[in-house]
Amino acid sequence: MNILIVDDEILIRNVIKEYCLNEKYNVYEAVNGIEAIEMVKNNDIDLIILDIMMPSLDGYSACKEIKQIKNIPIIMLSARKEEYDKLIGFDLGIDDYITKPFSPKELIARIKAVSKRNNNQDIFKYEDLVIDYKAHMVTIDNKEIKLTPKEYELLCFFIQNKNIALSREAILNQLWGYDFFGGDRTIDTHIKMLRNNLLKYRDLIVTVRAVGYKFEIKEK
The CATH number of the domain holding residue 190 is 1.10.10.10
- Average confidence score pLDDT of the chain: 87
User: Considering its fold, how many domains does the chain have in total?
Assistant: 2
77 and 99 share one domain: yes
Asked if residue 128 belongs to a domain, the reply is yes
107/137 same-domain check = no
Does residue 186 fall inside a structural domain?
Answer: yes
What's the rounded mean pLDDT across residues 75-88? 79
Position 149 pLDDT exceeds 80: yes
Peptide bond into 101 cis (omega under 30): yes
Picking from 88, 119, 150, the residue at the C-terminal end of a domain is 119
CB 78 within 8 A of CB 53: yes
Same domain, 70 and 89: yes
Question: pLDDT tens digits, residue range 9-31?
Answer: 999 999 999 999 999 999 999 99
* Same domain for 140 and 94: no
**66 and 157, same structural domain?**
no
Asked if 110 and 129 sit in the same domain, the reply is no
Is the model more confident about 184 or about 143? 143
> Do 11 and 94 share a structural domain?
yes
The reply to whether 220 falls in a domain is: no
Q: In this predicted structure, which of 118-122, 176-180, 213-217 has the lowest mean pLDDT?
A: 176-180
**For 195-204, what is each residue's pLDDT tens digit?**
999 999 999 9
Same structural domain for residues 106 and 184?
no
- Whether 27 and 77 map to the same domain: the answer is yes
Query: Do 112 and 11 share a structural domain?
Result: yes
Residue 184 — very low, low, confident or very high, per pLDDT cuts 50/70/90?
A: low
Specify the range with the lowest mean pLDDT, choosing from 111-120, 156-165, 190-199. Answer: 111-120
pLDDT band at 2 (very low <50, low <70, confident <90, very high): very high
Range of the domain at 31: 2-119
CATH of the domain at 100: 3.40.50.2300
Q: pTM for this structure?
A: 0.56
Give the count of alpha carbons within 13 A of 147, CB side only.
27
pLDDT reading at 215 higher than 90: yes
